[in-house]
Amino acid sequence: MPRQIIIYAKSVLSHLPRLHFYGIEGVLYEIDGEEKDKSWEMYLKIVDFLIGNDFKKSDLLVGVGGGALLDLVGFVASTYMRGVDVVFVPTTLLGMVDASVGGKNGINRPFLKNSIGTTYFPKKTIIDTAFLATLPEEQLLSGYVEVIKIAVVHSFKNCHLNKGDFIDPKTHEDFLRGLEYPLSEKSIEKARDLKRQIVDEDPDEKGIRYLLNFGHTIGHALEASMDFSITHGEAVQHGIRLEMAILGFPTWLQEKIASFLPFKTPFPRIDSAKFGKILQRDKKNRSCDIAFSNVVHHKMRDFLVFFPYEHVIKIVEEVMLDDCLYSSNG
């Protein structure tokens, strides 16, 4: 068995004995495992720890924590000695259904999330739902938002519609049926499988995999503009709401999807200029236009669609004002 170094989030310290069930034991290294840890500084600390412990290419790196930790450890694994084996043990719902599937990893720079990263798949992922028992509710809800996103994307990925084509509500009335909260092990595995199907079809994100960014263009910009004081799931939920409006989803479809979204918070009051500057840096953008996942109308396999920056900001400011007025009026 290869020698193992385990990078874990301090919040899961009490759960570490469970790793013995899976043959995971070795040298431990604790970090906070939060979004702020996705930095050059923490990356180099881990690399230096590996060097100090004489970590070889034949050894095994293990990441135990939520999505942010897995992103970081995956990036370390993909770059240390040009790539070493890594095992993921996601301990949050978000990590189980999203971050541990697809091979994306990376670190952040000021005002741009995941600005540096690679695509690198773990050797193995261990799903143990016992880790979910002590999670705060907002963390479970964050993962649930990603499950909703995956379900929506998968339901429409084979729709052959042009923009303006009629979307029959009778045809799609059951596309979210079966979603449950809290999620069972079966539902978690189903969400992972639905995402894997898309990733397997387009592992390098050249086409249909762009659809998995639904809600994330707005969501990532919102996270960064708020210095990551908002959870990823809540940010993506706001992103889904706004992107449905920008993409021109029919009202019935917007309302149906929104009825499943769990957070009840209004769109945050943000600095529009700061948000806009971050939004313009999105790697998918083209010239001055902002890129969005073209979830429904991709008959010509145009999985990205572009809108003028001014149009996007106008909708963001309108939704922010409407939500603030609504929340103020109770």
Catalytic residue among 149, 157, 192, 195: 195
Catalytic residue among 108, 113, 114, 205: 205
Catalytic residue among 149, 157, 209, 241: 209
CA distances 285 to 168, 215, 308, Å, are: 31, 15, 10
236-252 core/surface letters (b: 16 or more CB in 10 A; e: else): bbbbbbbbbebbebeee
232 is catalytic: yes
Task: Round to whole Å and give the CA distance between 258 and 73.
Answer: 33
Task: Round to whole Å and give the CA distance between 85 and 74.
Answer: 9
238 is catalytic: no
Task: Round to whole Å and give the CA distance between 43 and 26.
Answer: 20
301 is catalytic: no
* Six token digits for residue 267: 């769109």
Catalytic residue among 15, 154, 232, 298: 232
Residue spans of alpha helices (H) in the chain:
40-52, 67-79, 93-94, 137-156, 185-201, 216-225, 232-247, 251-260, 272-279, 309-328
Catalytic residue among 104, 113, 154, 192: 104
Q: What is the dihedral of CA 279, 281, 284, 290, to 10 degrees?
A: 40
220 is catalytic: yes
Catalytic residue among 20, 82, 177, 186: 82
* Six token digits for residue 32: 């906070």
Catalytic residue among 216, 238, 241, 298: 216
Catalytic residue among 35, 108, 146, 149: 146
CA distances 63 to 48, 51, 118, Å, are: 16, 17, 16
Catalytic residue among 38, 157, 220, 297: 220
Task: Round to whole Å and give the CA distance between 196 and 182.
Answer: 22
172 is catalytic: no
25 is catalytic: no
Residue 31's H or E segment, with its range, is strand 27-31
CA distances 326 to 44, 122, 319, 330, Å, are: 46, 45, 10, 6
216 is catalytic: yes
* Six token digits for residue 322: 């409407």
Q: What is the dihedral of CA 97, 99, 103, 106, to 10 degrees?
A: 170
CA distances 37 to 9, 68, 69, 76, 160, Å, are: 10, 8, 8, 12, 41
List residues with catalytic annotation. 82, 104, 146, 195, 205, 209, 213, 216, 220, 232
